[in-house]
């Protein structure tokens, strides 16, 4: 299998790169779906896991604000440009960026460490006494992870620009395995802080696994801090505005943690678990596409091939929606079954299950917006335009905060999730509207894009709605055939219903002439013929 994926990597195309990234993202999500139930089942939903997830928020927020989706977005177009022009110069720029960014993140984390106590109190106003003190202690340990991940992300950006996706796609799996290792090895001996050791171990492995591949492709580290380098200035020019354009999901986690801390014990944990569960298909079917298409979109812009740019954008929009729309409907219909199968064991009780699948169900309405926003924003960034996506994100984040606080106080976790879903949908619609305006302003025609994507969208919505009705009916059709009081019975019932629903989707979409369905069926029949 690895050899086949390696061959795919060596003959680059967006679809092949998306297969590589998507395959290992799927594995990573599966490991994550094992990780979270293990934590909930072994420790239980309550104060301990509330502390664990709350302690993540500030370190994760800083890393996502300054590095993930910011630094990488700024790095990849510049790395791509110099890898084409001068590989030696590209390696020198990479070393300089690595040294400057890691040093800068270390300084930021030291400042956060000095103010960790008041920051934690501000983050979780509902935590008091020992619960607050333990959250602060664990957060201080977690501040090591942004420094490690900053270095790792530079290697990830370098490999992405080099169109080498295999190793960087494996890294998240190793990170999750480190957390699981901490749960079973460190936690029994060291308690809650042992979970923190597992996180740091996973982060180190995430970085170390990428270094040999970067070295094999030609990267050599140098102790350079070249602040006069024009390429570094260009990266900073792209990077600084992007800081303001923080992804909504990260802000939602902060708001969810803050509002959740004043709700019942376990609310912070439930929101984080529900968010992780709804985000599972994003990395596999959406973020993998936007990540793989980014260097190609950047290349089209650099060469001035506008027709190829809009063609790539349209193909990727349809690729994302082909998977995300039906998946969203299936997740909404089968939300209770998904939660019961994955989490219905150990110390995760029925009340936890009900609150979890209710929150999860609302969050599924955000999936289409979450899937398309990264692709639209990367379309801007590939054209080295950061202003528009930043302004859109500011509006969307503001809306998310207002709605989460107002609705969260009145409806609890359901209100927080509703605010997030509304904000995500608004973000994607605004981003797309401004992208169209930007392309028209630059005399780039979208006529072919509109015809293809519009026709596709109508067909995929019809197919998905039919699929949803079939799946919902099959739940009741198969219920008398199994014992729904057992996990096995639920798995059989939901599995059969989902299977029939997917067949209905494929049949209807094929009949309507959806090209992506024909490709999928062609691959399946070729594989098993």
Q: How would you write 364-413 as a 3-class SS string?
A: HHHHHHHHHHHHHHHHHHHCCCCHHHHHHHHHHHHHHHHHHHHHHHHHCH
Q: Are 252 and 370 in contact (CB under 8 A)?
A: no
- d(C-alpha 280, C-alpha 288), whole Å: 12
Q: Which residues are within 8 A (CB) of 184 and not within 5 positions of it... i.e. 6 or more apart? A: none
Domain locations along the chain = 14-220+228-445, 448-529
Give CA separation, 280 vs 29, 277, 284, 428, 445, in Å.
6, 5, 7, 19, 35
Of 337, 371, 329, the residue nearest 356 (C-alpha): 337
Of 148, 145, 135, 140, the residue nearest 114 (C-alpha): 140
Chunked mean pLDDT (size 10), the chain, 529 residues? 45 53 67 85 89 93 75 65 66 80 92 95 92 95 94 82 70 89 93 94 91 79 72 66 64 87 88 89 75 76 80 89 95 94 84 91 94 88 80 89 90 92 94 88 81 93 96 93 87 94 95 88 67
To the nearest 10°, report the CA torsion of 390, 391, 393, 394: 120
At 104, list the tokens.
């800068």
- Looking at residue 119, its pLDDT comes to 94
To the nearest 10°, report the CA torsion of 384, 387, 390, 396: -130
Of 504, 474, 507, the residue nearest 492 (C-alpha): 474
- Looking at residue 250, its pLDDT comes to 76
- Looking at residue 391, its pLDDT comes to 87
Angle at 282 between CA 451 and CA 454, to 5 degrees: 10
Return the number of other C-beta atoms located less than 10 Å from residue 1's C-beta. Answer: 6
At 199, list the tokens.
């996180």
pTM for the predicted model, two decimal places: 0.79
Give CA separation, 177 vs 55, 68, 187, 297, 301, in Å.
19, 21, 14, 33, 39
- d(C-alpha 162, C-alpha 157), whole Å: 8
Indicate the burial class of 230 (C-beta count within 10 angstroms; 0-12, 13-18, 19 or more): exposed
Of 168, 509, 163, the residue nearest 321 (C-alpha): 509
Sign of the four-CA dihedral 16, 18, 22, 24: positive
Q: Are 251 and 403 in contact (CB under 8 A)?
A: no
- Looking at residue 502, its pLDDT comes to 95
Return the number of other C-beta atoms located less than 10 Å from residue 2's C-beta. Answer: 8
């Amino acid at each position: 299998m690895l050899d086949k994926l390696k061959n795919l990597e060596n003959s680059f195309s967006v679809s092949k790169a998306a297969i590589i990234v998507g395959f290992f993202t799927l594995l990573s999500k599966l490991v994550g779906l094992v990780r979270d139930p293990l934590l909930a089942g072994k420790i239980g939903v309550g104060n301990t896991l509330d502390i664990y997830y709350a302690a993540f928020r500030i370190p994760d927020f800083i890393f996502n604000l300054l590095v993930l989706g910011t630094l990488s977005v700024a790095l990849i177009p510049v790395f791509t440009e110099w890898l084409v022009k001068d590989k030696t110069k590209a390696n020198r720029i990479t070393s300089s960026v690595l040294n400057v960014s890691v040093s800068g993140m270390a300084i930021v984390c030291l400042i956060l460490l000095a103010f960790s106590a008041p920051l934690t109190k501000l983050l979780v106003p509902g935590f008091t006494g020992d619960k607050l003190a333990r959250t602060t202690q664990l957060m201080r340990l977690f501040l090591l992870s942004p420094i490690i991940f900053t270095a790792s992300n530079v290697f990830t950006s370098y490999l992405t620009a080099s169109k080498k996706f295999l190793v960087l796609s494996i890294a998240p799996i190793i990170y999750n395995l480190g957390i699981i290792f901490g749960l079973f090895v460190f936690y029994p001996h060291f308690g809650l802080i042992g979970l923190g050791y597992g996180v740091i171990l996973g982060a180190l492995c995430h970085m170390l696994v990428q270094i040999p591949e970067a070295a094999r492709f030609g990267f050599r580290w140098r102790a350079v801090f070249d602040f006069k380098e024009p390429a570094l200035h260009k990266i900073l020019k792209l990077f600084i505005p992007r800081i303001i354009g923080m992804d909504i999901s990260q802000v939602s986690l902060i708001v969810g943690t803050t509002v959740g801390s004043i709700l019942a014990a376990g609310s912070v944990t439930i929101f984080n678990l529900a968010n992780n569960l709804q985000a599972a298909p994003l990395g596999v079917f959406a973020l993998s596409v936007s990540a793989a298409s980014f260097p190609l979109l950047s290349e089209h812009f650099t060469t001035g091939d506008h027709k190829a740019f809009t063609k790539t954008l349209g193909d990727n929009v349809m690729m994302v929606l082909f998977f995300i729309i039906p998946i969203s409907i299936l997740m909404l219909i089968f939300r209770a079954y998904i939660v019961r199968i994955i989490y219905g064991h150990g110390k995760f009780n029925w009340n936890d299950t009900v609150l979890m699948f209710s929150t999860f169900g609302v969050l599924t309405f955000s999936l289409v917006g979450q899937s398309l926003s990264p692709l639209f924003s990367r379309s801007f960034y590939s054209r080295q335009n950061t202003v528009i996506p930043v302004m859109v994100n500011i509006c969307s984040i503001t809306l998310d905060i207002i709605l989460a606080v107002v609705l969260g106080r009145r409806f609890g976790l359901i209100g927080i999730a509703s605010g997030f879903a509304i904000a995500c949908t608004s973000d994607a619609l605004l981003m797309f509207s401004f992208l169209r305006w930007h392309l028209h302003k630059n005399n780039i025609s979208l006529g072919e894009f509109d015809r293809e994507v519009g026709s596709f969208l109508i067909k995929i919505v019809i197919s998905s709605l039919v699929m949803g009705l079939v799946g919902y009916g099959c739940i009741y059709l198969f219920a008398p055939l199994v014992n729904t009081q057992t996990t096995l019975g639920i798995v059989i019932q939901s599995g059969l219903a989902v299977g029939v629903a997917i067949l209905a989707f494929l049949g209807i979409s094929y009949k309507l002439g959806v090209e992506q369905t024909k490709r999928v069926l062609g691959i399946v029949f070729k594989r098993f013929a």
